[in-house]
Amino acid sequence: MDNKVMEKLSYGLFVCTAKDGEKDNGCIINTATQVTSSPNRVMVAINKDNYTHDMVVKTKALNVSTISEAASFDMFKHFGFQSGRDVDKFSPSSGEWMKENLASCKRAKNGIMYITEGVNSYISLEVYEMVDLGSHTMFICDVVDGEVLNDIASATYAYYHKSIKTQVEKVGATPEGKTVWKCKICGYVYEGEDLPEDFICPWCKHPASDFEKVVM
């Protein structure tokens, strides 16, 4: 089978937020789809490595904001390339992006934060059923609330690769003749001749198979 067929499927990109007690958190996901309209249900899949995953399992509630073409790579870095286990992503001290955008973040009726910059809408969800898929849990959810924030087009995964990720590829240089492995998903660079087979990208959590060898 040609594995590239999988890249022909279209995906959106979303910021998934949750709240457990006093802890607010969020991560980037690419799997959120309306599966039924009556009742209005959405399927969301979250990688178990994400702290947000554990919070949703526990609290059964989440917000999903649809990322728009106005999103910056810094927003992806903020929510996608650091863990809520290590930082408080809704604190200004957690990064430049949040320092600039915290004032525009809001709390939905369900008490969970949502962002208003780089997204065009959000929906509030309650978990109806969970399915263990191994690396991910699939959450089938009831849509309980939502709001359109602007009319900017939703960003597809393809758009992210073509226009958003490139914002980072221009920065950083490695000495000539050096071999590096570059994550095709987020641009993370691993320096070295051989990339361990079980390597997991520390930023986006994708496996070694999503890295390409680059001779600088």
Residues that bind Fe ion in the complex, under the rule CB under 5 A: 183, 185-186, 188, 201, 203-204, 206
> What is the H or E stretch that residue 52 is in?
helix 51-59
Chain-centre distance for alpha carbon 54: 15
* CB nearer Fe ion, residue 19 or residue 182: 182
* Coil vs helix vs strand at 64: strand
Name the minimum Å distance from CB 188 to Fe ion: 4
> What is the H or E stretch that residue 80 is in?
helix 73-80
DSSP state of 145: E
Name the minimum Å distance from CB 128 to Fe ion: 31
* CB nearer Fe ion, residue 19 or residue 77: 77
Name the minimum Å distance from CB 195 to Fe ion: 12
Q: Please, what's the b/e burial string for 111-132 (b: 16 or more CB within 10 A of its CB; e: otherwise)? A: ebbbbbbbbbbbbbbebeeeee
Name the minimum Å distance from CB 181 to Fe ion: 10
* CB nearer Fe ion, residue 188 or residue 199: 188
Judge contact between 27 and 85, C-beta under 8 A.
no
* CB nearer Fe ion, residue 40 or residue 72: 72
Query: How far lies 13's CA from each of 1, 37, 71, 203, 210, in Å?
Result: 26, 21, 10, 16, 18
* CB nearer Fe ion, residue 3 or residue 37: 3
Name the minimum Å distance from CB 161 to Fe ion: 12
